[in-house]
Structure 1
Amino acid sequence: MTSVLYDAQGPRAKRRNVLYTVVFLLAAAGLGWWVFTSLDDKGQLDWEKWKPFFGGTEAWSTYIWPGVQNTLKAAALAMLISLPLGAVLGIARLSDHAWVRIPVAVVVEFFRAIPVLVLMIFGLALFSQYTNVSSDDRPLYAVVTGLVLYNASVLAEIVRAGILALPKGQGEAALAIGLRKNQVMRFILLPQAVTAMLPAIVSQLVVIVKDTALGGAVLTFPELLASVSPMSSYYGANTIASFTIVAVIYIAINFALTTFAGWLEKRLRRGKKSTGAVLPPAAVGAAESTGAAA
């Protein structure tokens, strides 16, 4: 029996795959045991190392929660600015006017080519030299600036690719019935492209959340990951425990964001489904009269 993608496995292939699976599981178990024993020998699994996170609230209120707040603040600001800016840039790259399309393409390609950390450092120097932003707020402004410049450019390409992926007949049919180009984009192309683009957009939003850690590592921005160093020093070098708790929090935040996006995508797809039934003229007239009476 064959499949569209591959031939069905024979007895020898099945035995070989079972052998590979067993070897992989044994190797993974051995690696896990080695990591466990190494941490245990160095005292990283002692209760005293983990007690601050499960035996009280001081670590959470003093170190972790302020870091979570700063991470979410920077990420939320970057998302709120990057999403509409990226949409505008992506649509502008599809403009029929060269004086709009070419400069926007240069801007998008320029900021996509620069590492986000360089943009953050540039933003910090910019706010330090040419603005009156206080030294306490400069790291936040620099992190948001770097995230916006880079991710808006990436989102612009996602929007452009999503619109170009739609069948050309969609826009041509809309133009044929008399819609203007901006109406075709707003009412026909963009609503359909949003659903297709949503997984890629969510992936980029997850990147925004994780990239806030760059600000803590270089710009002294007090975000979640930056809380590990003072927390580990205060509680007796519990580095592994601190990093583990912070990693779990990052996973929870990104999982919640991905889950919400998946729910939103299903809702959008469900809202666009139709039965495809053709109503008779009498039914249409009755519906119109009912709407007028209401």
Structure 2
Amino acid sequence: MSTSSILYDHPGPRARLRNRVLSIVFGVALLALLWWLYSKFDQAGQWEGRLWKPFTEPKTWTEFIGPALLQTLYAAATGMVLSLAFGIVFAVGRLSDHWWLRIPAGVVVEFFRAVPLLLMIFFIFYGVPFLIQGPVSAFWAVVVGLTLYNGSVLAEAFRAGIRSIPGGQSEAGYAVGMRKGQVMRLILVPQAARAMLPVIVSQLVVLLKDTALGYIVAFPELLQRGVNDLSANYGNVVAAAMVAATIYILINSLLTALAGWLDRRTRRRGFRIPRQTAAPDSTPAGGATVAEPQG
């Protein structure tokens, strides 16, 4: 009997009927909500052609949405790389055996998890220049803020993933002569990243959306250029916001699909069923076969 059949009972006739009825009711309620939203916007004249016409002109995409989207993706990609590095380093630091490393790492992670991201970006842009006696660009104010906040959240995700790995994995590494750093780098962190992949992807999606907070320091991302500046020229703030939201949804859907593909690929590589061979000189009494080790 498979594990799935033990953990999951297929619904009976009544349960299937109930599920169909609930699905129909939910679908009708959703359609009613969408129709209500459409009618309210229609009464306000938000579906008029003059408000949507700018999106058919190349100038809108080359001067407003295109450059803003590139800035958003650039800031998000930089923040993702730095956040992952920050998360791994501080997760390992919080698991250190040395108190002088474990306690400061914990203080840093908890502090930046507690500070609102918008306040952090604001302080980096307006407060740090007083400390370094020089300006901070809007790009780096956004990226550093995203790195500190999301990296702290990812540090906790990595730490939870490392702790969830059975202790035998570490013991096997120590048994073959590995040091703790090697065990962490070669055994624990890769498995933790695979186990926590859904959480990591969810946080990276949040990071991508949080680039919109850069408007507070006039960073020319999708919200600032693609909504505020565009609507200031054409007076179509609702239409511009809908287009920007659609772009965010498409990008996040692609990121989620990529993560799903990566998860399936790593699972196929990481969990292979051993081939069963019957070696004449190694077959125990009773005809049992011995699993051939995988290379």
TM-score, normalised to structure 1, is 0.84
- Kindly indicate whether residue 265 of structure 2 is the aligned counterpart of residue 267 of structure 1: yes
Q: 1:86 to 1:20 in 2, by over 3 A?
A: closer
Structure 1, unaligned stretches of length 5 or more?
A: 283-294
**What letter matches 1:47 in structure 2?**
G
Instruction: Give the distance between the partners of 2:137 and 2:253, measured in 1 at CA.
Output: 30
- Paired residue secondary structure (1:107): helix
- Map 1:101-250 to 2 at 5 A: 101-131=102-132, 133-134=134-135, 138-216=137-215, 218-227=216-225, 228-235=227-234, 237-250=235-248
TM-score, normalised to structure 2, is 0.84
Question: Partner residue of 2:73?
Answer: 72
- Map 1:32-43 to 2 at 5 A: 32-43=34-45
Structure 2, unaligned stretches of length 5 or more?
A: 282-295
**What letter matches 2:166 in structure 1?**
P
Instruction: Give the distance between the partners of 2:249 and 2:88, measured in 1 at CA.
Output: 27
- Paired residue secondary structure (1:96): coil
- Paired residue secondary structure (2:97): coil
Q: 1:102 to 1:130 in 2, by over 3 A?
A: closer
Q: CA deviation at 1:104?
A: 0.8
Q: CA deviation at 1:106?
A: 1.1
Instruction: Give the distance between the partners of 1:273 and 1:15, measured in 2 at CA.
Output: 38
Please give the root-mean-square deviation of Cα atoms over the aligned residues, in Å.
2.6
Instruction: Give the distance between the partners of 1:144 and 1:159, measured in 2 at CA.
Output: 21
- Paired residue secondary structure (1:267): helix
Contact 1:213 1:224 in 2 (8 A): yes
- Paired residue secondary structure (1:184): helix
Question: Partner residue of 1:97?
Answer: 98
- Kindly indicate whether residue 59 of structure 2 is the aligned counterpart of residue 58 of structure 1: yes
**How much identity, in percent, do the aligned residues show?**
46
Contact 1:127 1:142 in 2 (8 A): no
Contact 1:89 1:104 in 2 (8 A): yes
Deviation per residue, 1:40-83 (Å, 9 max, x gap): 22221122211111x22111111111211211121122112111
Q: Which shifted more, 91-100 or 22-31? A: 22-31
Q: 1:18 to 1:151 in 2, by over 3 A?
A: closer
Residues matched between the structures, number: 275
**What letter matches 2:236 in structure 1?**
N
